[in-house]
Amino acid sequence: MTTTLIRGGTVVTATGRSQADVLVDGETIVAVLAPGSVVLGTDLSRAVHTVIDATGKYVIPGGIDAHTHMELPFGGTAASDTFETGTRAAAWGGTTTIIDFAVQTYGQRVMDGLATWHEKASGNCAIDYAFHQIVGDVNEDSLQALESLPDEGITSFKMFMAYPGVFYSDDAQILRAMQVSARTGMMTMMHAENGPAIDVLVGQLLAQGKTDPYYHGVARAWQMEEEATHRAIMLANLTGAPLYVVHVSAKQAVEQLAAARDVGQNVFGETCPQYLYLSLEEQLGAPGFEGAKWVCSTPLRSKAEGHQAHMWQSLRTNDIQMVSTDHCPFCMKGQKDLGLGNFSKIPNGIGSVEHRMDLLYQGVVDGQISLERWVEITSTTPARMFGLYGKKGVIAPGADADIVIYDPNGHTSIGYEKTHHMNMDHSAWEGFEIDGHVDTVLSRGKVVIDDNQYLGAKGDGQFVKRGLSQYLI
């Protein structure tokens, strides 16, 4: 077992920052020490094999991206990142754990869907990974299967109020699954958009010849998100299920979540980098079919209507608790272009797993959030929300040595020809400049990124079983 000393840095956690050295033994953090406590050449230091100099840099717990879709079958194609390429890209960007969505498709058994996901991921990941379960077909058999998921280390499942005919669950199905959630303590996760109503609007827009990518966002209006969010909250209220609404983008949806939290309901929300930085107006202004790279659901919202600013505000007020990517990459050629002449055929999704830590750090530089809040919303809260805390999400003795050394004096230019390790033919983040840089990444004690080199290997990452959420009242 190698022993590593990270010295000279500023350790930043969700609750504060201090000058400290971090001692790692094998895969685990064993001590957080006053600077210089380990004097090289003394007995204690004889055991130290590697010294990493973090002077002038932040030492933070590795990022946890609680919403990714490697290899997701969608829109007649599949998300272009495999577990191998997607987790490697995540490591490049300072994310050391992903929680991906295992998929039960319509007509499939939940446990068969889960087994398929284990096959896809096992032996292929660069970093640790866990699963949520998508329930695409709520029936007697699925409801029974849900009861046994916590034993498999899966303590959350997701349903879709959108995508009729694909993943969609109606209110009756949602109610029944939420009853299981209430009984077991498992988190219900919800894609909250009124799919049947959206499909009517999609048909009407197409009939009027409005086929460009921009109309995706017009059809998926904020009212569709607010209404579904409210309905999900009411069903959760009735059943007592804890509820986590994914990819929140509309300020009206945040207000629904905030009102429920104000009265003590176990309701949570995540937003994604695209809703903090990108807008429907920019999509409208993109030439030709270019706007297809930003087609995702929920859609980009109007900046003029104030959604973006409200998302940042919600991160400050904790009306939104954390940021995940909804990483769901598709190439323009051969995938997004399925929707040339019909926006509804563009596979939904943006690839961001590599850039989440940097994009949110820019929020610190821009004065949107504090340094500690950055760590909280990208690592600590995801760990607490989804039963990983203690091992993940913190720099403390006993935690896995998932550590990022972040250089606030470094710089990252994001772009397809620059920083890009995701398996897609473009970047949705082209031209973004970050006033910071991921210098070194340790995944369970192993240095996997250092000085712009990848030093890990596929299979380094292990499946992590999760406990119940530690965020519930």
Q: Kindly tell me which residue out of 439, 441, 456, 464 binds Zn ion, with binding defined by CB under 5 A.
A: 439
Q: Is 216 in the site for Zn ion (CB under 5 A)?
A: no
Sequence-distant (6+) residues with CB within 8 A of 254 are: 248, 269, 310, 311, 314, 319, 320
Residue 71 binds Zn ion, judged by CB under 5 A: no
Instruction: Indicate the residue among 10 and 271 with the shorter CB distance to ligand DUC.
Output: 271
CB of 74 to ligand DUC, least distance (A): 6
Binds 121: which of Zn ion, ligand DUC, none (CB < 5-8 Å by kind) = none
The residue among 70, 231, 256, 242 whose CA lies nearest residue 162 is 231
Q: How far is the CB of 415 from ligand DUC (least distance, A)?
A: 22
Q: Residues 87, 125: contact at Cβ < 8 Å?
A: yes
In the complex, the residues that contact ligand DUC under the rule CB under 6 A are 69, 74, 191, 296-297, 326, 328, 348-349
Closest CB to Zn ion among 14 and 248? Answer: 248
Examine residue 191 and tell whether it contacts Zn ion (CB under 5 A).
yes
CB 308 within 8 A of CB 275: yes
Q: Of 265 and 279, which has the nearer Cβ to ligand DUC?
A: 279
How crowded is the C-beta side of 310, counted as CA atoms within 13 Å? 17
| 349 binds, options ligand DUC, Zn ion, none, Cβ within 5 to 8 A by partner type | ligand DUC
Provide CB contacts within 8 A for 469, sequence distance 6+: 155, 156, 185, 187, 242, 384, 385, 386, 387
Interaction partner, residue 392 (ligand DUC, Zn ion, none; CB < 5-8 Å by kind): none
Measured from the CB of residue 326, what is the shortest distance to ligand DUC in angstroms?
A: 6
Q: How far is the CB of 351 from ligand DUC (least distance, A)?
A: 10
Q: What does the alpha-carbon distance between residue 273 and residue 312 come to, in Å, rounded to a whole number?
A: 10
Q: How far apart are CA 384 and CA 386, in angstroms?
A: 6
Residue 158 interacts with, from Zn ion, ligand DUC, none (CB under 5-8 Å by kind): none
Q: Are 94 and 59 in contact (CB under 8 A)?
A: no
Residues in a beta bridge with 447:
442
The rounded distance, in Å, linking the Cα atoms of 406 and 56 is 9
Q: Is 81 in the site for Zn ion (CB under 5 A)?
A: no
* Nearer Cβ to ligand DUC (347/456): 347
CA distance 59 to 80: 32
Shortest distance, CB of residue 347 to ligand DUC, whole angstroms?
Answer: 8
The CB-nearest residue to Zn ion is 191
- Closest distance to ligand DUC from the beta carbon of 69 (Å): 6
Tokens, residue 187? 């988190």
Which stretches of the chain bind Zn ion, using CB under 5 A? 191, 326, 407, 439
